[in-house]
Every structure is written in C-alpha cells, then in structure tokens.
Amino acid sequence: MPTFRIPVNIEWDGASGSPGVNVFHGRSDTDEGTDETLGDLAGMLQSFYDGIKGAFPSSLEFSFLGEATGVGDDTGEAYSADPWTVTGTAGSSYLPPALTMLVAWRTAGAGRSARGRTFLGPISGGLTDNDGTPSASTIAAIQAEVDDLISNSTNYFNGALGIYSRTQNIFRDLVSGEVPNYFAVLRSRRD
C-alpha cells in the first residue's frame, strides 16, 4: 500500500506570507496504479478547492504541480499526475493574512496522531459576521466541500486521503472534517 505526500501550493499578491502550502496524504491500494490513484485523489482535491474558491481573493492561486513523494516505507518514491490550478474569485481585498479558516480532520483512530488540520487563507475581506467570526455562509460553503471530499475519498475504490503519522509510520483514512466558527492562526514552528 504506497503512501504519499500531496502538496497544494498557495500563492497570493498584496499580503505578506506568500507562498504557503497545504499538505495532504494519500494511499494507493496497488503498487502498479499509484500514479492513477494520485491523479484521482488530486482531482478530488481540485474539486474541493474549486468549491471553496469564492472565499479567496482573485489574486490567490491554489496549485498542485503534478508531483507527490512517498512517505514512510515509500520514502524516495516519486509519483506524478496532471497538474492543476484554482484561482480565488472573491475580489481583491484580504482579511489580515494571519487569519485563516481551519479544517480539523479526523480519522477512526484516537489520539493526536490520528488528527490533522488544514489552514485555508488568506481569506477575502468582508467574509466576517458582526462579531468578528467567519460568516455563517462561508463556514457552510467550506463545510459542504469538506463533507464532499470525505465522501469522495471514503467511496473511492483504489485508495484514500488520510492522516499520516511520521512517528508511528501509520496512515489512517479520513472519516470526518469540521470547519469551526473562528479564525485560526498558523504559527511558525521556528519562532
């Protein structure tokens, strides 16, 4: 069961912090079809980002460059699929770049190594409620895409998206994801 790291690059203009990256992990049920499986899983991620592009400024791009690298026992392996780019559609203003939407991912396992987080930002300006939290419509739109991504991954016949634990060298399939009603801040681990 090959496991691999799927990076989604994030680049934007007009605000500090660019570029960024969201890292997903995938698995293939067969050695021979890993490139095809990567293509299918990357396509699911493209659909996810395409579904949430309305929350991001028009100068922001999410892109998969067509390459994934093996993790764990598959370290050193390289896999390829068609690249893609999704561009934001929500005008040109930004919220402060440190404020991001958060997706908290869960697997069937317990403990910290069975969970993951994806920080989505910077968010387009004007997508807040009066109390300073993300707008209910933005949360609902992103949550719907999270649910679709989980469903597509769960029902895929030849692999899945999931959480990879480096310390345990275990891959666990995603089973749920939640978009909480607050902005998250991704802090550098070097600080």
Tokens representing 88 are 């934001």
Closest residue by Cα to residue 21 from 32, 8, 36: 8
- Per-residue confidence in pLDDT tens, the chain, 191 aa: 899 999 999 998 865 667 889 999 999 998 888 999 999 999 999 999 999 999 999 999 999 999 999 999 999 999 999 999 999 999 888 888 888 999 999 999 888 888 999 999 999 988 888 888 999 999 999 999 999 999 999 999 999 999 999 999 999 999 999 999 999 998 765 44
Tens-digit pLDDT profile for residues 69-114: 999 999 999 999 999 999 999 988 888 888 899 999 999 988 888 8
In a domain, 15, yes or no: yes
In a domain, 136, yes or no: yes
H/E stretch holding 139: helix 136-154
In a domain, 102, yes or no: yes
In a domain, 186, yes or no: no
φ, ψ for residue 151, nearest 5 deg: -60, -45
Q: Residue 141 is part of which domain span? A: 3-178
Closest residue by Cα to residue 28 from 62, 64, 65, 77: 77
Question: Where does 21-135 have alpha helices with state H?
Answer: 34-52
What is the model's pLDDT at position 191?
41
Q: Map tokens 């992103």 to a residue.
A: 142
What is the model's pLDDT at position 97?
81
Overall number of domains in the chain: 1
Angle at 181 between CA 175 and CA 185, to 5 degrees: 90
In a domain, 95, yes or no: yes
In a domain, 187, yes or no: no
What is the model's pLDDT at position 31?
82
What is the model's pLDDT at position 168?
93
